[in-house]
């Protein structure tokens, strides 16, 4: 169940300096639209039993709204979720919910000074109250708004895992727990949530298939005014037919122990879907339980596979061949062990199709090899202000062979490319090395680094004498690379397969090739052959080749060179 957002979230955005630079009119408009969306999601979730957005994405947008309140309405009351208003049955003891902690450090702070703590899996299901009188079940009540819920007693009697009678004859005995979908060897790390909670909620709120009710279990996580010691509480719950709580409760005394159980249950085969762990301490008397007022237990959820975060800005990068790509700069978020602050939005076409502008809330996940990717947009700001973008017609496969400020991105991409192991194999030369040389005005064209002496390199700001020696050594060694490596370094658009099959070992032979002869090589059709010939005939390319044919140190007249 979603937890009521704590008051401090109201100030988080302000403290982090995230107040948008908006007019009062725009602020009211944006807040009104987001408040309406949150309310729609609340009604769907609490009243219809389904969810159109994950808890993590909802919480992120709720936090954003609270931050906006702190920026533009600091005196207004904190927005609260619109809980179900259909529930008419009063809970004998209110549901309090649990505060969610963000990391192990927060857990350490919460655990400090506390004793007799226990950890349990955080079952992903639907919270209920079971009310027994003189050993007989008289009510099952949905959580609702924490004070009142719906009467689910008739369906409870169709769920085999819910005891209709228990061996305790108290005048009134209240248990709180989670109705969940029974699973066979569910591994949360590999399988995720599998929509289990929605299945349970749908079965309880609507006309249920009896077969679904047969597959529901119940996990008791609270016994208001029950035995003081957890060991006794668990023993009696087992005696009453609620053995799962005893099977899946462990005493802990440190955050390290909690983390170990959390990781174990994340990987282990379990009979239920989980989304984290809950750490329990000693509760206060049931008469004092109120929604949102729980200081004796907390939750530490698993890192979600997908998170949502705000787009701070949109940037454009130019690859070595002149292709424009889009990068989203994000409010940093944690995904597994990675802190993600940038993510590719793909090509211009993909970005335009996705319609993402600064202020939007995007969903981010980790693709293969841990590379962040955008999976969608969960919220769009109303005032769409696309960033100014470069003209894609400016850049192409023969642009930016010389350096100009407007060419910085593509020129740098070309240099990074030619220093790669598969090209000129310049060991230890990084992107930042090239950036320092560009910044110092040492590079005018793609191969001008060849004319730099060790002394000139050593006089470059940010480069030490030792680094200058290494750079000069790598520049010198590059002269020994075979001819085909220099073809790649220049950026001639020949596929690797064709390059390997090619017998040419000098520029003269290469330039003598016709479009038809290029087509004789594997992977080169008529269209690509035409592009290769056009590239090699370009004036700037020919000037570079002239230099490389001599001593591989071409000289370009930068001022007269066009892009």
The Cα-based distances of 13 to 60, 327, 378 in angstroms read 11, 23, 19
Per annotation, catalytic residue among 100, 122, 301, 484: 122
324-335 vs 306-318, strand pairing mode: antiparallel
Tell how far CA 360 is from the center of its chain. Answer: 14
Instruction: Output Rg (C-alpha) for the chain, integer angstroms.
Output: 32
Q: Could you tell me the two tokens for 461? A: 């700001």
How far apart (Å, rounded) are the C-alpha atoms in residues 531 and 525? 10
How far apart (Å, rounded) are the C-alpha atoms in residues 363 and 236? 45
How far apart (Å, rounded) are the C-alpha atoms in residues 163 and 217? 11
How far apart (Å, rounded) are the C-alpha atoms in residues 223 and 174? 6
CA atoms within 13 A on the CB side of 4: 18
CB 357 within 8 A of CB 386: yes
Q: How many residues does the structure list for the chain?
A: 563
Cβ neighbours of residue 540 under 8 Å, at least 6 residues apart?
A: 398, 401, 402, 556, 561, 562
Cβ neighbours of residue 396 under 8 Å, at least 6 residues apart?
A: 321, 322
CB 305 within 8 A of CB 365: yes
- Backbone phi and psi for residue 451, each to the nearest 5 degrees, phi listed first: -90, 0
Q: Is 122 a catalytic residue?
A: yes
Q: Could you tell me the two tokens for 295? A: 């200081």
Over the range 429-460, which residues count as b (16 or more CB within 10 Å of their CB) and which as e?
beeebbebbbeeebbbbbbbbbbbebeebbeb
> Active-site residue numbers?
122
């Amino acid at each position: 169940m979603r937890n009521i957002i704590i008051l401090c979230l109201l100030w988080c955005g302000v403290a982090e300096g995230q107040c948008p630079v908006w007019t009062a009119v725009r602020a009211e408009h944006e807040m009104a639209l987001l408040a309406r969306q949150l309310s729609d999601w609340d009604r769907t979730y609490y009243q219809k039993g389904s969810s159109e957005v994950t808890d993590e994405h909802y919480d992120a947008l709720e936090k954003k709204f609270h931050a906006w309140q702190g920026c533009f309405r600091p005196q207004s009351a904190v927005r609260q979720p619109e809980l179900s208003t259909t529930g008419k049955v009063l809970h004998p003891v209110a549901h309090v919910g649990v505060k969610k902690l963000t990391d192990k450090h927060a857990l350490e702070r919460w655990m400090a000074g506390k004793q007799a703590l226990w950890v349990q899996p955080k079952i992903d299901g639907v919270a209920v109250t079971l009310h027994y009188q003189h050993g007989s079940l008289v009510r099952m009540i949905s959580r609702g708004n924490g004070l009142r819920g719906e009467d689910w007693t008739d369906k409870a009697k169709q769920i085999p895992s819910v005891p209709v009678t228990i061996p305790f004859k108290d005048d009134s005995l209240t248990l709180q727990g989670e109705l969940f979908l029974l699973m066979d060897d569910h591994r949360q790390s590999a399988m995720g949530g599998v929509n289990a909670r929605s299945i349970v909620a749908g079965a309880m709120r609507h006309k249920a298939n009896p077969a679904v009710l047969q597959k529901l279990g119940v996990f008791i996580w609270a016994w208001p005014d029950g035995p003081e010691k957890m060991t006794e509480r668990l023993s009696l719950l087992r005696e009453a037919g609620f053995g799962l709580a005893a099977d899946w409760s462990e005493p802990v005394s440190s955050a390290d122990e909690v983390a170990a159980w959390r990781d174990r249950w994340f990987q282990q085969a379990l009979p239920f879907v989980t989304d984290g762990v809950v750490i329990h301490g000693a509760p206060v008397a049931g008469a004092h339980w109120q929604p949102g007022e729980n200081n004796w237990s907390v939750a530490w959820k698993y890192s979600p596979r997908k998170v949502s975060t705000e787009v701070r800005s949109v940037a454009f990068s130019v690859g070595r061949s002149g292709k424009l790509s889009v990068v989203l700069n994000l409010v940093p978020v944690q995904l597994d062990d990675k802190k993600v602050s940038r993510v590719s939005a793909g090509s211009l076409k993909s970005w335009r199709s996705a319609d993402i502008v600064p202020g939007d809330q995007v969903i981010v996940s980790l693709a293969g090899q841990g590379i962040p990717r955008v999976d969608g947009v969960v919220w769009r700001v109303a005032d769409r202000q696309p960033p100014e973008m470069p003209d894609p017609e400016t850049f192409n496969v023969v642009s930016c062979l010389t350096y100009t400020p407007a060419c910085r991105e593509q020129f740098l991409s070309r240099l990074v490319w030619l220093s790669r192991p598969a090209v000129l194999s310049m060991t230890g030369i990084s992107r930042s090395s090239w950036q320092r040389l560009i910044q110092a005005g040492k590079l005018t064209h793609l191969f001008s680094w060849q004319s730099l002496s060790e002394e000139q390199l050593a006089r470059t700001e940010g480069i030490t004498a030792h680094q200058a020696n290494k750079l000069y050594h790598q520049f010198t060694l590059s002269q020994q690379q075979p001819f085909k490596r220099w073809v790649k370094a220049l950026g001639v658009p020949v596929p690797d397969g064709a390059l390997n099959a090619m017998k040419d070992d000098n520029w003269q032979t290469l330039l003598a090739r016709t479009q038809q002869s290029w087509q004789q090589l594997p992977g080169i059709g008529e269209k690509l052959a035409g592009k290769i010939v056009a590239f090699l005939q370009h004036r700037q390319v020919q000037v570079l080749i002239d230099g490389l044919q001599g001593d591989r140190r071409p000289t370009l007249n930068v001022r007269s060179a066009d892009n």
